[in-house]
A and B are shown apart, each in its own frame.
Chain A
Amino acid sequence: MSKAILQVRNLTKRFGGLTAVSDLAFEVREGEILGMIGPNGAGKSTTFNLIAGTYSATEGEVQFSGEPVLGLPPHRIAAKGIMRTFQHNRPFGGMPVIENVMVGAHTRFTSTLWSVVAGYSRKEEIEKRRRAEELVDFVGLGDLRDADVTTLSFGQGRLLEIARALAGEPRLILFDEPAAGLTQDELDRLGGIMRGIAARGIAMLLIEHDMHFLLPLAHRVVVLNFGAKIADGLPGEIRADPAVMDAYLGGSHAAA
């Protein structure tokens, strides 16, 4: 079994009297797709924001490749090799697709501001642009490389989020409900892309609502309810877990 790249221990977040995440522990292993599920208000998004650096934790520890990362600002977390996507796509509206992806590579540029002004950064710029073009092709937006991002469909915008995250050469990508708002065709495509990312050895943490999308895709699943972990196992085990059925799947299956 491959070793853990992200280790979360004792993670707790209280908003005033409300405990959104309580004593949470889990790990993401190298190259693995870890799904995190739970009903609304279970603390998934809070957990996500704690790891991404958007919220500060009340207590706990998060280690990435053995280094503590909890409490670092988001841009430092990205530089460490953890990139993220947004549930509601957040493209940079004033730039074409390719430039959006190149922003994702921001932390991988080595030329200084002085060398930019002196005109010595051209080579790196060309090299990074070529790499961004490959990523745009990888997510299937090759025809839209120079398109205005405001003309993209919602599904294409989601693919752009992924290409942009990949440009940061991450070792872990955090996905905030990547399936939300996508059609079945787009979901199939997204699943294929995610497997392709896993094949590159990049680990993924998926916060997700859509069981039908998540269970066939994830290597392991963590289930949250009321801010605490109630189950952690293989997708097959999660399906059969009575506590999970109770908290979440039961309702969802009855409705389906």
Chain B
Amino acid sequence: MSVIARWLGPVLLLSGAAFLLSDYHNDVYRKMLLWVALALGYNFLFGICGQVAFSHFAFYGIGAYSVVILLFQFHLPLPLAIVLGVVICVLVALAVAIPSTRLEGFYLALATLALAQLFVVVLNEGGALTGGTSGIANYRLPDIFGVRIRGPWFTAVIVLLVVGTYAVLWRLDRSWFGRACRAVRDNPEAAAAMGVNVARTKVIAFTLTSALAGIAGMVYAFVDNTVNPPIFGIDNAFLLLFMVIVGGAGRHAGAVIGAVLLFLLPFWLSPVVGHHHVLVFGVLVLAAILLQPRGLIGLFDFAKKPS
């Protein structure tokens, strides 16, 4: 089966679904797909490479704000804004990752937590550039070749992003690079003895997944056509962590299941328990860690095994 055929099926199926959904459900579907893209990248960073970072969601925000500021404050053309947005994400990621890898794992968590907090502070204090506490709104996606992309067609763009993210991470995972990441996670000293440059591997994994989060953020900027500081708060960084843990850290399918489930859960729970759904999340995560450390995908494996 050719490469195009392998990825075309999912793209057609997932984007086809968008044309059957109402406007409201398209909006929910888009956000769910973006969470899937985020969880896939975060799973690579946390689940496969073993880096406990809390900055992934902040990079989503950096991507979103970058593209909006470059397009509507600096009036750059869309392709240039996208490229520059990626460059900004890469530079910030390198600035965090390079000093952090010299320290032990715990300090990466602290450094990235600090970055995530700092980002929100900068957004709030950014004045006219970031729009301060109210952010930037009332813009729309520029036309591409004279075509305005909207409705289910915009959802199809998000599908392309998710499938592209999946394809890139899937290939990386099944290569020398993916094995090096897992080796670094499991035993850094043995990994180094096998010829793996531990610091370099960590920096590449961090920068690459952060850039992917940034790209997802750029697309997100046109889902609600508004960016503001509360959207990119620290609680979403933890939600992302929960998604990967509940689904099954280290497995792409786990990230997808975790993201879909935890994103949709409040829609089902809110009518029943109101805002207490956060409590249900807590219990779910605890249950996952205590009872099934391999997450829901681990349960699935268990059920599949004949014995």
Partner-B contacts on A (CB < 8 A)? 52, 54, 73-75, 78-79, 83-84, 86, 90-95, 99, 102-107, 109, 111, 113, 116-117, 119, 121, 125, 128, 164, 168
Q: Which residue of B lies closest to A81 (CB)?
A: B195
B174, B191, B193, B196: the one contacting A84 at CB < 8 Å is B193
Interface membership of B98, Cβ < 8 A: no
Q: List 19 A-B contacts (CB under 8 A).
A: A54-B189, A73-B192, A74-B189, A74-B192, A75-B195, A75-B198, A92-B186, A92-B191, A99-B179, A103-B179, A105-B176, A106-B179, A106-B196, A107-B195, A109-B176, A116-B172, A117-B168, A119-B171, A164-B194
A54, A106, A113, A121: the one contacting B194 at CB < 8 Å is A106
Interface membership of B31, Cβ < 8 A: no
Interface membership of B138, Cβ < 8 A: no
Known: A94-B250, A95-B186. A78 touches B193 (CB 8 A): yes
B175–A78 CB distance below 8 A: no
Q: Which chain B positions have C-beta within 8 A of A99?
A: 179, 182
Q: Which chain A positions have C-beta within 8 A of B191?
A: 92, 103
SS of B interface (majority): helix
Closest chain-B Cβ to A44's Cβ sits at a distance in Å of 18
Please, what's the 1-or-0 string for B172-208, where 1 marks a CB less than 8 Å from any CB in chain A?
1011110110110111011111111110000010000
Within 8 A of A (CB), among B1-53: 3
Closest chain-A Cβ to B18's Cβ sits at a distance in Å of 27
Compute how far the CA of A92 lies from the CA of B172 in the bound complex, rounded to whole angstroms: 18
Q: Which chain A positions have C-beta within 8 A of B198?
A: 75
Compute how far the CA of A74 lies from the CA of B192 in the bound complex, rounded to whole angstroms: 6
Within 8 A of A (CB), among B146-164: none
Compute how far the CA of A53 lies from the CA of B48 in the bound complex, rounded to whole angstroms: 27
Compute how far the CA of A75 lies from the CA of B189 in the bound complex, rounded to whole angstroms: 10
A168–B186 CB distance below 8 A: no
A79, A86, A91, A95: the one contacting B195 at CB < 8 Å is A79
Q: Which residue of A lies closest to B6 (CB)?
A: A119
Count of chain B residues near A, Cβ 8 A = 27
Q: Which chain B positions have C-beta within 8 A of A78?
A: 192-195
B183–A103 CB distance below 8 A: yes
A86, A92, A93, A117: the one contacting B171 at CB < 8 Å is A117
Known: A92-B187, A103-B179. A52 touches B3 (CB 8 A): no
A75, A84, A93, A116: the one contacting B177 at CB < 8 Å is A116
A75–B197 CB distance below 8 A: yes
A83–B193 CB distance below 8 A: yes
Q: Which chain B positions have C-beta within 8 A of A109?
A: 176
Leading 3 A-B pairs by shortest Cβ distance: A78-B195, A107-B195, A90-B190
Compute how far the CA of A125 lies from the CA of B196 in the bound complex, rounded to whole angstroms: 17
A92–B180 CB distance below 8 A: no
B172–A75 CB distance below 8 A: no
Partner-A contacts on B (CB < 8 A)? 3, 168, 171-172, 174-177, 179-180, 182-183, 185-187, 189-198, 204, 250
Compute how far the CA of A73 lies from the CA of B198 in the bound complex, rounded to whole angstroms: 11
Q: Which chain B positions have C-beta within 8 A of A54?
A: 189
B3, B177, B183, B204: the one contacting A92 at CB < 8 Å is B183
Q: Which chain A positions have C-beta within 8 A of B183?
A: 92, 95, 103, 106
Q: Which chain A positions have C-beta within 8 A of B189?
A: 54, 74, 90
A119–B204 CB distance below 8 A: no
Q: Which chain A positions have C-beta within 8 A of B196?
A: 75, 103, 106
B168, B176, B186, B192: the one contacting A93 at CB < 8 Å is B186
Q: Which residue of B lies closest to A113 (CB)?
A: B177
A113–B204 CB distance below 8 A: yes
Compute how far the CA of A233 lies from the CA of B69 in the bound complex, rounded to whole angstroms: 74
Compute how far the CA of A73 lies from the CA of B195 in the bound complex, rounded to whole angstroms: 9
Q: Which chain B positions have C-beta within 8 A of A121?
A: 171, 175-176
Q: Which chain A positions have C-beta within 8 A of B171?
A: 116-117, 119, 121
Q: Which chain A positions have C-beta within 8 A of B186?
A: 91-95
Q: Which chain B positions have C-beta within 8 A of A75?
A: 192-198
Q: A73-B197, A91-B187, A93-B186 are in contact. List 17 more A-B contacts (CB 8 A).
A: A52-B193, A78-B193, A83-B194, A92-B182, A99-B182, A102-B176, A103-B183, A106-B180, A106-B195, A107-B195, A116-B171, A116-B176, A117-B168, A119-B171, A125-B175, A164-B194, A168-B195
Compute how far the CA of A164 lies from the CA of B168 in the bound complex, rounded to whole angstroms: 27
Closest chain-B Cβ to A184's Cβ sits at a distance in Å of 27
Residue of A103, A109, A116 with most partner-chain B CB within 10 A: A103
Closest chain-A Cβ to B183's Cβ sits at a distance in Å of 5
Q: Which residue of A lies closest to B178 (CB)?
A: A116
Q: Which chain A positions have C-beta within 8 A of B250?
A: 94
B192–A92 CB distance below 8 A: no
Compute how far the CA of A52 lies from the CA of B196 in the bound complex, rounded to whole angstroms: 14
Compute how far the CA of A84 lies from the CA of B194 in the bound complex, rounded to whole angstroms: 8
Q: Which residue of A lies closest to B192 (CB)?
A: A74
A90–B187 CB distance below 8 A: yes
